[in-house]
Amino acid sequence: MVLKAPTAVLDKETIALTIDGSRVEAPKGATVLQAALDAGIYIPTLCYDPDLTPYGGCRLCVVEIDGMRGLVSSCTTPAADGMVVHTETPRVSQSRRITMELIIANHHGDCLTCAKNQRCDLQKVARYLGIEEEHFGRLRRGTQLLPLDESNPFFTRDLNKCILCAKCTRACHEVAAVGAIDLAFRGYSAKVCTAGDKPIVESTCESCGECVVRCPTGALVPRQSRQATRQVKTICSYCGTGCSLFLGVRGNEVVEVQGDRESPVNRGSLCVKGRFGFGFINSSDRLTAPLIKKDGQFVKASWDEALDLVASKLSNYKGDQFAAVSSAKATNEENYVVQKFARAVMGTNNVDHCARL
């Protein structure tokens, strides 16, 4: 039974369509997949990312649309007013299962030992489609074995687990605007390559991790890939830009960092320092209390004791006897306070900053 859309007047920038018998409103220009996801209707996909141009490569998001011949990929099909979409039909389900079987048949690795276990989109889709060993056991498994690329200090590349969704290459081109990797070769030999098929460390890769965070499988994983138990929202401390991020915490240890997609500053993106440079937080060399030199030796002190000592020392200097050097790891507001202190309190314009272009 086809449901007719109510006669209510829609906003000029809004369209109405029917998905699996439910009336759905979507903004003009949205794809069928976007309209469905916004309405809480799940459609499996492995190559879709809201930050990237629709690709239609995995062929798992296929749907049937009244008036259109054959199956169409919902991620590349624009939603239209009055469109009637079917996401779960025998034909759609059969197509998805066959596609998934072929993807898994060429997928190497043991899920139990994979760093992406329980966080793998391939697992999620396979579970949703009800894929079991018997479904693809009859298929001839791939025998090609590619070398593991461990040249990058922050993440590893295992192309044997790559499903050629092109998320990494598109992120490198469209988000990072670097173009360090791309799809190369054809057919069974197709793979993600750097220029000249060299190790990633010899490419123009900036190690921003935009490819890593989007990889749906274990083909790209951080070297430190322990799963967090909770997240803490904070601001990156590496510079004054103010990128918002989530620290993944396990016990009292930071084990991962994720960008905040809702932040108007970075919109989920992070640089190499913000994404991978959190090792110092748990370093055994990190100071955990102020140190004061007594009898030629540094000893621990309270913050009140340390601040009183600094204040007493600074009282002996005025004007150009004093200079302030600020830090790029401080926020803009903190740097403003430093220069204000130097000019208004210490009476000097000797203010400098550690950042250099």
pLDDT tens-digit readout, 53-105: 999 899 999 999 999 989 999 999 999 999 999 999 999 999 999 999 888 88
Output 36 or 105, whichever has higher pLDDT. 36
Beta strands in 142-272 (DSSP E): 155-157, 181-184, 191-194, 220-222, 230-235, 244-250, 253-259
Q: What is the mean pLDDT of residues 122-138?
A: 81
pLDDT of residue 279: 87
Return the CATH fold of 14-136. Answer: Ubiquitin-like (UB roll) (3.10.20)
**Helix boundaries (H) for the chain:** 32-38, 90-105, 121-129, 133-136, 167-174, 210-214, 272-276, 303-314, 332-340
| Coil, helix or strand at residue 269 | coil
- pLDDT band of residue 273 (cuts 50, 70, 90) is very high
| Cβ-contact 104, 122 below 8 angstroms | yes
- In tens, the pLDDT along 193-229 reads 999 999 999 999 999 999 999 999 999 999 887 888 9
Q: Look over the chain and give the mean of its residue pLDDT values, rounded to a whole number.
A: 89
pLDDT of residue 2: 37
- pLDDT band of residue 107 (cuts 50, 70, 90) is confident
| Percent residues over pLDDT 90 in the chain | 69
DSSP state of 343: I
Output 245 or 227, whichever has higher pLDDT. 245
- pLDDT band of residue 356 (cuts 50, 70, 90) is low
Q: Which residue has the tokens 């020392």?
A: 313
The pair of three-digit structure tokens given for residue 171, joined into one six-digit string:
């992120």
Q: Which residue has the tokens 């620290």?
A: 247
pLDDT of residue 12: 62
pLDDT of residue 198: 94
Q: Which residue has the tokens 């995995």?
A: 58
CATH 3.40.50.300 fits 228-286, yes or no: no
Which CA distances in Å does 74 have to 10, 34, 78, 230? Answer: 23, 8, 8, 34
CA distance 42 to 44: 6
CA distance 257 to 248: 6
Domain boundaries for CATH 3.10.20.740 within the chain: 14-136
- In tens, the pLDDT along 146-191 reads 899 999 999 999 999 999 999 999 999 999 999 999 999 988 889 9
| Coil, helix or strand at residue 258 | strand
Domain boundaries for CATH 2.20.25.90 within the chain: 228-286
Write phi, then psi, for 148 (nearest 5 degrees): -75, 130
Residues 6+ apart with CB under 8 A from 70: none
DSSP state of 159: G
